[in-house]
């Protein structure tokens, strides 16, 4: 999607994609990553997700990337934390103890900018990108994270009924993007009560990705 699309969504507060509570599938399956206390978790296209508050409260460090500065201002306001804001290359870096968020274009990120990460939590990034960008996103994510383990949550539904985002990402695409780098484990598929946006039957699928051995 064009950057202007997401900026307008946040400016107009059209953020139905934002969950008001910690994601239930994150709570159910995050421990499958087997992370040590204080591990650093990368959340691409993080918005102001409440999942960040849960990760911080659980003793993890968080690094995120987000296009909209409005979203990140709201995130820190909701966290009740005053960030230190600095210019970091092409990014505005919002920093507080245990958390670094880089505001800018995800595709401009480098491994040096985000630093070492132990795992990736992707609930809203892969599904936010249209077909033409998904493969590029996955490749870039692998490169800048040095193939860190991932917990991915996708949507599955009939894309002809509603256009997205969030987009439907089927098992075949997850395998296409990641199978050469990771050992993939399908974890769970859960129907969305009432369907996606109340318009189409939909499920959320959970994938665990760990480095191939």
pLDDT tens digits, one per residue of 131-165: 999 999 999 999 999 999 999 999 999 999 998 89
Q: Report the distance separating Cα 137 and Cα 163, nearest Å.
A: 20
66 is in an annotated binding site: yes
120 upstream amide cis, omega within 30 of 0: no
CATH of 3-211 given 3.40.50.2000, 3.20.20.70, 3.40.50.150, 1.10.10.10:
3.40.50.150
Task: Give residue-wise pLDDT tens across range 76-122.
Answer: 999 999 999 999 989 999 999 999 999 999 999 999 999 999 999 99
Three-state DSSP at 153 gives strand
- Report whether 188 contacts 207 (CB < 8 A): no
Average pLDDT over residues 180-208: 95
End-to-end CA distance of the chain: 35
56 is in an annotated binding site: no
Q: How many CA atoms lie within 13 A of 76 on its CB side?
A: 21
Listed by start position, the domains of the chain span 3-211
Which residues contact residue 198 at a Cβ distance below 8 angstroms, ignoring those fewer than 6 apart?
A: none
- pLDDT value of residue 213: 66
Task: Give residue-wise pLDDT tens across range 168-193.
Answer: 999 999 999 999 999 999 999 999 99
10 is in an annotated binding site: yes
pLDDT tier, 7 (very low <50, low <70, confident <90, very high otherwise): very low
208 is in an annotated binding site: no
E strands along 133-213, which residues? 149-157, 182-191, 202-211
Going by the DSSP 8-state scheme, the letter that residue 200 receives in this structure is B
Task: Give residue-wise pLDDT tens across range 34-70.
Answer: 999 999 999 999 999 999 999 999 999 999 999 999 9
Point out which residues pair with 102 in neighbouring strands: 65, 93
- Report whether 167 contacts 124 (CB < 8 A): no
For 81, other C-beta atoms within 10 Å of its C-beta total 16
C-alpha closest to that of 156 among 168, 141, 172 = 168
SS3 helix, strand, coil % of the chain, rounded to 5?
35, 30, 40
- pLDDT value of residue 1: 47
Please tell me the pTM assigned to this model: 0.91
pLDDT tier, 17 (very low <50, low <70, confident <90, very high otherwise): very low
């Amino acid at each position: 999607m064009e950057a202007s699309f997401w900026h307008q969504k946040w400016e107009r507060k059209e953020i139905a994609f934002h969950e008001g509570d910690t994601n239930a599938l994150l709570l159910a399956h995050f421990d499958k990553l087997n992370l040590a206390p204080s591990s650093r978790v990368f959340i691409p296209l993080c918005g102001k997700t409440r999942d960040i508050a849960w990760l911080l409260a659980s003793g993890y460090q968080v690094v995120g990337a987000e296009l909209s500065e409005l979203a990140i201002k709201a995130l820190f306001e909701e966290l009740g934390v005053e960030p230190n804001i600095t210019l970091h290359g092409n990014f505005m870096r919002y920093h507080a103890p245990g958390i670094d968020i880089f505001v800018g274009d995800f595709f401009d990120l480098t491994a040096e900018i985000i630093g070492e990460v132990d795992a990736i939590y992707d609930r809203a990034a892969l599904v936010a990108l249209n077909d033409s960008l998904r493969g590029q996103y996955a490749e870039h994510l692998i490169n800048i994270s040095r193939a860190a383990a991932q917990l991915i949550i996708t949507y599955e539904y009939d894309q002809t009924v509603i256009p997205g985002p969030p987009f439907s990402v089927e098992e075949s695409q997850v395998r296409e993007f990641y199978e050469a780098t990771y050992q993939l484990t399908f974890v769970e598929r859960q129907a969305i009560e009432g369907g996606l946006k109340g318009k189409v039957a939909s499920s959320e699928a959970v994938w665990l990705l760990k480095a191939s051995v």
